[in-house]
Amino acid sequence: MSAPSVHDDWLSLIEISGPFLAVPVLKEAFPQGLEELDAIKRKRLRQAYEEWREALELEDAQFAELHVAWIDEVLSRGLEFDEDGKGDVLKRTDWCAANLQANLPEHGVTLSPDLSVIDEQRANKPLLLIQTYAQDVDLDTTLKQDGWAATPADRMVALCRALGCRLGLVTNGERWMLVDAPVGAVTTFASWYARIWSQEPITLQAFVHLLGIRRFFVDEAEQLPALFDRSLKFQDEVTDALGEQVRRAVEVLIQTLDKADQDRDRELLHDVKESELYEAALTVMMRLVFLLSAEERGLLLMGDERYEANYALSTLRMQLRKESEEILERRWDAWSRLLAIFRAVFGGIEHENLRLPALGGSLFDPDRFPFLEGRAKGSNWRSDAAKPLPIDNRTVLLLLEAIQQFQGRTLSYRALDVEQIGYVYEGLLERTVKRTDEVTLELDATKSAKTPWIKLAELDSARLDGAARLAELLQERSGSSASRVRNDLAKPVDDTLADRLLTACQGDTKLRDRVKPYAHLLRTDPWGYPLVYPAGAFIVTTGSDRRETGTHYTPKSLTEAIVAETLTPVAYVGPAEGTPREQWVLKSPAELLDLKICDPAMGSGAFLVQVCRWLSDRLVEAWSQVEALGKIVSVDGDVLETGAAKELLPRDSEARTVIARRLIAERCLYGVDLNPLAVELAKLSIWLVTLAKGRPFGFLDHNLRCGDSLLGIHRLDQLTELSMTPTGKGQQRLFGQNIERAVREAIELRLRLRAIPIRDIHDVEAIASINEETQAKLKVSDQIADALVAAVFAIKKPRALESHIAILASEADHAVGGQIDALLSIRHLVEQAFSIGPRNSGVPRQLHWALKFPEVFDRHDGGFDAVIANPPFVDSETMSRIDPEYRDYLARSYSCAKGNWDLYIPFIERSLQICRRKGRISLVSPNKWLAAPYGAALRAKTVNRLSSVLDFSKGRAFEGVGIAAICTSFCSEPRPKLIKVENPTSTLTMAYLHADSIAKQPNWGFLLSAHIDILSTLSTSGVTLGQYVTANDPFTVSEAYQLVDDVIEADSTDEPVFIFVNTGTIDPFRVLWGERETRYLKKKLS
For the chain, give every domain's residue range: 3-222, 233-434, 437-535, 714-843, 1023-1085
pLDDT of residue 408: 66
Angle between helices 39-57 and 63-72 (to 10 degrees): 160
DSSP H or E run through 849: helix 849-852
pLDDT of residue 1077: 34
Asked whether 752 and 763 are in contact (CB, 8 A), the reply is no
| CA-closest candidate to residue 950, choices 1007, 1018, 1002, 909 | 1007
pLDDT of residue 772: 93
- Rounded CA separation 250/270 (Å): 20
Count Cβ atoms below 10 Å from residue 136 Cβ, excluding itself: 9
Asked whether 433 and 274 are in contact (CB, 8 A), the reply is yes
- Rounded CA separation 462/453 (Å): 15
Could you tell me the sign of the dihedral formed by the alpha carbons of 612, 617, 621, 627, in that order? Answer: positive
Q: How far is CA 935 from CA 260, 1005, 1009, in A?
A: 54, 11, 18
pLDDT of residue 332: 92
- Rounded CA separation 341/359 (Å): 12
- Rounded CA separation 616/610 (Å): 10
Asked whether 188 and 238 are in contact (CB, 8 A), the reply is no
Count Cβ atoms below 10 Å from residue 620 Cβ, excluding itself: 22
- Rounded CA separation 850/746 (Å): 11
pLDDT of residue 548: 46
- Rounded CA separation 526/328 (Å): 14
State the Cα torsion 321-324-325-331 to the nearest 10°: -90
- How does DSSP classify residue 954? G
How many CA atoms lie within 13 Å of 76's alpha carbon, on the beta-carbon side?
A: 17
Cite the beta strand spans of 985-1044 per DSSP E: 990-994, 1029-1030, 1042-1043
pLDDT of residue 1043: 35
Angle at 745 between CA 740 and CA 749, to 5 degrees: 145
Instruction: Report the chain (1086 residues): mean pLDDT per 10 consecutive residues.
Output: 65 84 89 88 94 92 94 95 91 94 83 94 94 93 77 91 93 96 81 94 94 92 91 72 84 91 86 91 91 85 89 92 91 95 94 90 93 92 91 93 77 72 77 91 86 92 92 91 92 93 93 94 91 92 56 70 94 89 93 98 93 95 92 91 79 85 95 93 91 84 95 94 84 79 92 88 92 92 94 91 90 86 86 65 84 94 96 86 90 94 95 96 93 92 94 64 82 89 72 82 81 61 55 38 35 40 37 33 33
Peptide bond into 366 cis (omega under 30): no
- Rounded CA separation 466/64 (Å): 85
**Helix/strand/coil for 639:** strand
- Rounded CA separation 104/582 (Å): 9
Q: Residue 924 forms beta bridges with which residues?
A: 967
Could you tell me the sign of the dihedral formed by the alpha carbons of 862, 866, 868, 873, in that order? Answer: positive
- Rounded CA separation 140/836 (Å): 57
Angle at 820 between CA 725 and CA 818, to 5 degrees: 70
- Rounded CA separation 744/934 (Å): 40
Asked whether 845 and 707 are in contact (CB, 8 A), the reply is yes
Beta strands at 175-180 and 90-91: parallel, antiparallel or unpaired: unpaired
Which amino acid belongs to residue 906?
P
Asked whether 926 and 904 are in contact (CB, 8 A), the reply is yes
- Rounded CA separation 699/680 (Å): 12
| CA-closest candidate to residue 807, choices 782, 832, 836 | 832
The CB-based long-range contact list for 412-416 (8 Å cut-off, 24+ gap) reads 412/15, 412/16, 412/296, 413/289, 413/292, 413/293, 413/296, 414/15, 414/293, 414/296, 414/297, 415/15, 415/16, 415/17, 415/189, 416/17, 416/293
- Rounded CA separation 525/248 (Å): 9
| CA-closest candidate to residue 966, choices 979, 993, 948 | 948
**Helix/strand/coil for 737:** helix
| CA-closest candidate to residue 242, choices 411, 392, 369, 109 | 411
Q: In the chain, helix, strand, coil percent, each to 5? A: 50, 15, 40
pLDDT of residue 271: 87
Residues 6+ apart with CB under 8 A from 917: 861, 863, 972, 973
DSSP H or E run through 690: helix 676-690
Residues 6+ apart with CB under 8 A from 865: 570, 595, 596, 597, 915, 916, 918, 919, 920
Residues 6+ apart with CB under 8 A from 350: none
Longest dimension (CA), the chain: 93
Q: What is the value of pTM for the model shown?
A: 0.81
- Rounded CA separation 752/1016 (Å): 51
pLDDT of residue 547: 45
